[in-house]
Structure formats: structure tokens, C-alpha cells
Copies of this chain bind each other. A is one copy, B any other.
Amino acid sequence: MGRKPRENNPGAVMAELEDTPSTAARPTAVTSYDVARVARVSQSSVSRVFTPGASVSPEVRRRVLRAANQLGYQPNAIARSLITRRSGFVGLLIGASTNLYYPEVLSELSRGISDAGSRVLLFTVDSESETETVLTHLWRYQVDGVIAATRLDAAQLTEFANRRVPVVFYNRMPPDNPATAVTVDHAEGERRLIDRLVAAGHRRFGIVGGPADNMVSLERTESAIARLRHHGIDSVTIVRGDYGYQSGIDAFHALRREAGRDLQAVVCANDAMALGVMDAARLQAGLRIPQDLSVVGFDGAEPSRWLSYGLTTIRQPVRRMAEAAVAMLVERIAKPDIEPERRLYAGELVEGISARLGKG
């Protein structure tokens, strides 16, 4: 038995009788049946008018669009996705990180996802323990795919695979598992920074790492250490921060305690900590930068370019990376079985004025 058209949608009826403009009172959501009734066509025809590529006569299209406009009709995307089995949602997982360039990343990713015709379902993961809860909601909302700027463990990654929901990591790499990711080339960036610092004569280095469980920070500091070793520099003092500005300040003092006054260069795992180091060095220890101490960061966040800092750093091509992440995801949503792929982006070395650099 087919559905009988509703007889009692007051908003629609009112519009039908009085030709009310789209700003009229409309207590109930307008459905395709309401539009169909006003346009004197079937619900199917209304649906076809809003389905690209479907076959509708100009006359019917005109009538439907007129009625739809008059009633303020918009197709119910929820009902649509139930039958098309495509939710149109991309889940975006981000940590509640204080990373200075997060706003930029977020806005680029969001733009990219919108441009691809999907909607952004945002999940902020304050602590790792929330991840499971967040994933539960993801599954319930049938997301077409996910961009993750947070950690996922092996079991969680397996669950994505089982549910055939593609994930693309943004500047994260799950250890061991092959996964699709877009990252800046941390090793290459650190290599360039270290080479230039060493070329300028620096020999006594301090390193400020990020959180212990953060793969990115780990990769950056390990690459830096490896490259220093390559240059024959073994005695490196390492302290750990939390990626925040204040932890950079603390890290500077810790380095000074451990490494003494002949520290020549500080290599930080991100910009926020580097700025903290600069401020502590200049304003609390009275050092001149870069004459007495060179400081380098990583990311190229906006504040690092401010006149007070002019931080020497590696700038992430955020826009291109975000676009790549979205493109890779879209591709995998269309063809779920494409191989995992890690795409590396070389950062741009921003010379700045916070470090003495030899020629590369």
C-alpha cells in the first residue's frame, strides 16, 4: 500500500491557500509531500527535481521549484541518507590541543570537506580516554569517512577497517599499522634546521620535546638527535614539554640547569614552546637572541612570524596538506579498498631571526 498524502500540515496548507511567502509561520517541517500537493504532482517528482540528473519536464520542475520556494522546502538530508546509505558526514577528530596552528588546520579541513560536498561532524577529544566514546558516536552517525588529528590505537584502527570507514590521519602516524596519512616531513625539516645550525658553528644543543605519547613530537626529536649524531654531536640535553608556551619557559630553565650556560642552540618540537624558550631566555635570563642563543621551532604558526619573535622554523604547508587529506579521503570513500598511503610534505624553512644559520 502506498502512502496517502498528509492532509494536515497546517503550515503547508496555509501557504497553499494564501500564497504565503517563505517567511510565514511554519509550525511543522515541510516535506516533499507538502510540496507535491501544492505543485499538484507526485512526491516522486518533487524528489526528482532535487536529484541531480533525474528526468523531469521543465513544466514540472518550474511548478515544484515554485512550490518549494513558497513553502521554504529543503530536502531532509537525514531521510535521504537513510535510503541512499551515504550520510554525507565526515568525522573530524581533533584534540583539544593548544597547538597554535590548529585554527588554521581546522578551518582549511572544514573548507575542504564542504567543498567536497560533505558535512563536518566535529569531535574534540580532550583526553585519550574519551576516544572510545567518541567513536561510538561516530558509528551511530554512519560517517562516510574520518579525518583524525588525534591518536587511535591498533584496535580502534581495526574497527575502522572492519566497518569499512576510511580514515586519514593529519600529522599523526599510528605506530606499526600502515595507515593513510598526510604529514609534514618531520625528519627532513629537522635535518635542514640542524644542518644549518651546525654549519653556523653551534655545538652545544638543547632539545625540547613534546608529550611523551605524541608520535609527531617523538619523530621530530629523534630525527633531530639522529642528525646531530650524524654531525658527531652526542652530548645533547633533552627536556620534555607539553607543546604549550608555558612549558617552553619551564623547559628553558630546565635546560639551563642541566646543560649550564654554554648552551648554544635550542631545538623545539613546536613553535609554541620555542616562543616560550625565546621569552624566557631574553626576558628572564637576559640573553640576546640569536647572538647568545639560537632557538628554532617547527610548524610556522602565525605568532612565530610576529615581529617580537621572527622565529626560525619549518613552516607546514597547511593548506596543501589539508587539501590533500580531504582528497585522499574522498578517494577512499569512493573506492574503499585503495591501499594505505602516506603523503609527506616538505616544510619550508623560514629563516627568521631567532637563530644564526650557516649556509645550507
**CA separation between A320 and B186, bound complex, in Å?**
38
B-side contacts of A124, CB under 8 Å:
106-107, 110-111, 114
> Is A70 at the interface (CB under 8 A from chain B)?
no
B-side contacts of A74, CB under 8 Å:
136, 139-140
| Stretch of A173-181, A189-197, A228-236, A305-313 on the interface side | A305-313
B-side contacts of A275, CB under 8 Å:
306
> Is A149 at the interface (CB under 8 A from chain B)?
no
Measured CB to CB, the nearest residue on chain B to A164 is B27
> Is A96 at the interface (CB under 8 A from chain B)?
yes
> Is A69 at the interface (CB under 8 A from chain B)?
no
Q: How many A residues have CB within 8 A of the partner chain?
A: 63
**B26 touching A141, Cβ below 8 Å:** no
> Is A51 at the interface (CB under 8 A from chain B)?
no
B-side contacts of A75, CB under 8 Å:
140
**CA separation between A123 and B357, bound complex, in Å?**
42
**CA separation between A249 and B308, bound complex, in Å?**
12
> Is A334 at the interface (CB under 8 A from chain B)?
no
B-side contacts of A29, CB under 8 Å:
85, 142, 163
**B76 touching A78, Cβ below 8 Å:** no
Given A27-B164, A96-B107, A245-B302, 19 extra CB contacts under 8 A: A23-B155, A74-B136, A77-B137, A77-B141, A79-B82, A92-B122, A98-B302, A103-B106, A107-B126, A120-B122, A120-B123, A245-B306, A275-B306, A278-B308, A279-B307, A279-B308, A283-B307, A308-B308, A308-B309
Pairs A–B under 8 Å by Cβ, sample size 26: A23-B162, A26-B164, A72-B159, A72-B163, A74-B136, A74-B140, A76-B140, A76-B142, A77-B140, A77-B142, A78-B81, A78-B141, A92-B122, A96-B111, A103-B103, A106-B124, A110-B124, A114-B123, A119-B121, A122-B122, A245-B303, A279-B307, A279-B308, A283-B307, A303-B303, A308-B308
3 closest Cβ pairs, A-B complex: A279-B307, A77-B140, A122-B122
